[in-house]
C-alpha cells in the first residue's frame, strides 16, 4: 500500500499522474488566502519511508510515465535527498518521462544552478509556482514569503535550465480597491517571467480565510474584468494559458500569442452578457 494522508492536493493537470506524498503540508503555510494546509503540521517524511512508497508504486503501476510529488513545496527538500528520490524513481520506473511538483520561489533560489541542472537531468520537469500577484504590496499583505522579484528570478532561472514553470495567478486577490494595479503589475511580472504555462484562478474567501482589514471582495463581473486587463497587457511569446479551474465563472484556454484576440473576444462577450454577477461572487464552485 502507498501511504497517503489527507488533505492531498494536486494541480488539475496532474490528474493522470501517479502521486507520492513526500511531505505533509507546506513548510511556509503562512499565506492568508490559502487554506490548503491550514491545520496540517508540516512534516517532511524520512527518505526510507518515501522510497518504500516508490517501490510499492512500481510494483502496482510499473508502466507509470508521469509522477507528481506532493505536498506543498517538495523543492524545499535538500538537494541530496531530492537527488536520491529522483534516482530511485528513474531506476524503478522504466517508462518514466517526467516528475512534477509544487515549488516555492525561495526554495528554487536556494538551489545552486548545478543542482537544478542535475535535478532536471533526472527528469524533474514541471514546477507549479504560485505568483498570485505581481503587486509587491499585495504580496506582502497576503503573507507570501517571496517578493515578486524573487518569483520572477526563480522562474527565469529554472526555465533557462529547461524546466517548465506552470505559474498561478489569483484574480480578485487585491480586492476592489487594489484590482487595477494588481492586474497591471501581474501582467508585468508575467511578461518578465515568460512562463511556459499560466493558470488564472479566482480567489474566493472561504470560511476561515483571514484577509487584511478593509479587504473588499470583487464581484464575479469585476474578477472577469480584471482578467481582461491582464490579458490585454500580456506580451507572452510562448505560453499555454488556462483559466479552467472550477473557481472561474467560465472555462477559458488558449495559447499566447496566437490566441490572445480570441481570448479577449470571449472575455469581452462574457462581460457584456448578463451571465456574470455584478453584486457578488456569483455561483460558487463545488469545493466551497
Q: Interface mask (CB under 6 A) for ligand SF4, residues 57-96, using x and -?
A: ---------------x------------------------
Q: Interface mask (CB under 6 A) for ligand SF4, residues 122-141, using x and -?
A: --------x-----------
Cell numbers describing residue 168: 498561478
Least separation, in Å, of the C-beta of 9 and ligand SF4?
8
Q: Of the candidates 211, 115, 101, which has an alpha carbon nearest to the alpha carbon of residue 157?
A: 115
Tell me the angle at which helices 113-121 and 79-92 cross, rounded to the nearest 10 degrees. 10
Question: Contact 82/74 with Cβ under 8 angstroms?
Answer: yes
Least separation, in Å, of the C-beta of 245 and ligand SF4?
14
| Residue 53 backbone dihedrals phi, psi, to 5 degrees | -65, -40
Stretch that binds ligand SF4, among 22-30, 78-86, 148-156, 229-237 (CB under 6 A): 22-30
Q: Of the candidates 71, 92, 67, which has an alpha carbon nearest to the alpha carbon of residue 4?
A: 71
Output 28 or 66, the one with its CB closest to ligand SF4.
28
Which residue is it, cell 483571514?
A: 210
Q: Is the peptide bond before 71 cis (omega within 30 degrees of 0)?
A: yes
Residues pairing with 254 in the sheet: 241
Output 29 or 179, the one with its CB closest to ligand SF4.
29
Q: Which of 104, 106, 126, 158 binds ligand SF4 (CB under 6 A)?
A: 104
Q: Which of 36, 109, 184, 217 binds ligand SF4 (CB under 6 A)?
A: 36
Instruction: Please give the span between the terminal C-alpha atoms of the chain, in angstroms, as a whole number.
Output: 31
Output 104 or 158, the one with its CB closest to ligand SF4.
104
* Residues at the site binding ligand SF4, with contacts judged by CB under 6 A: 26, 28-31, 34, 36-37, 72, 104, 130
Amino acid at each position: 500500500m502507498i501511504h497517503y494522508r489527507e488533505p492531498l492536493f494536486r494541480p488539475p493537470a496532474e490528474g493522470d499522474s501517479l502521486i507520492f506524498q513526500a511531505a505533509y503540508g507546506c513548510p511556509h503555510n503562512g499565506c492568508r488566502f490559502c487554506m490548503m494546509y491550514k491545520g496540517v503540521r508540516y512534516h517532511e517524511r524520512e527518505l526510507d519511508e518515501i522510497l518504500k512508497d516508490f517501490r510499492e508504486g512500481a510494483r502496482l503501476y510499473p508502466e507509470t510515465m508521469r509522477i507528481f510529488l506532493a505536498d506543498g513545496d517538495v523543492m524545499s527538500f535538500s538537494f541530496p535527498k531530492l537527488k536520491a528520490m529522483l534516482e530511485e524513481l528513474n531506476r524503478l520506473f522504466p517508462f518514466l518521462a517526467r516528475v512534477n511538483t509544487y515549488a516555492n520561489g525561495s526554495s528554487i533560489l536556494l538551489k545552486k544552478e548545478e543542482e537544478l541542472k542535475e535535478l532536471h537531468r533526472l527528469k524533474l520537469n514541471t514546477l507549479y509556482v504560485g505568483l498570485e500577484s505581481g503587486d509587491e504590496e499585495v504580496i506582502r499583505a497576503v503573507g507570501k514569503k517571496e517578493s515578486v522579484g524573487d518569483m520572477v528570478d526563480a522562474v527565469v532561472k529554472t526555465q533557462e535550465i529547461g524546466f517548465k514553470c506552470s505559474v498561478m495567478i489569483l484574480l480578485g486577490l487585491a480586492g476592489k480597491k487594489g484590482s487595477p494595479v494588481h492586474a497591471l503589475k501581474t501582467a508585468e511580472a508575467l511578461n518578465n517571467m515568460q512562463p511556459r504555462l499560466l493558470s488564472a484562478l479566482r480567489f474566493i474567501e472561504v470560511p476561515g480565510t483571514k484577509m487584511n482589514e478593509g479587504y473588499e471582495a470583487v464581484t464575479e463581473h469585476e474578477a472577469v474584468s480584471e482578467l481582461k486587463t491582464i490579458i490585454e497587457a500580456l506580451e507572452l511569446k510562448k505560453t499555454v494559458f488556462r483559466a479552467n479551474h472550477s473557481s472561474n465563472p467560465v472555462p477559458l484556454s488558449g495559447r499566447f500569442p496566437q490566441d490572445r484576440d480570441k481570448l479577449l473576444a470571449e472575455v469581452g462577450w462574457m462581460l457584456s452578457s448578463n451571465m456574470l454577477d455584478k453584486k457578488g461572487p456569483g455561483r460558487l464552485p463545488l469545493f466551497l
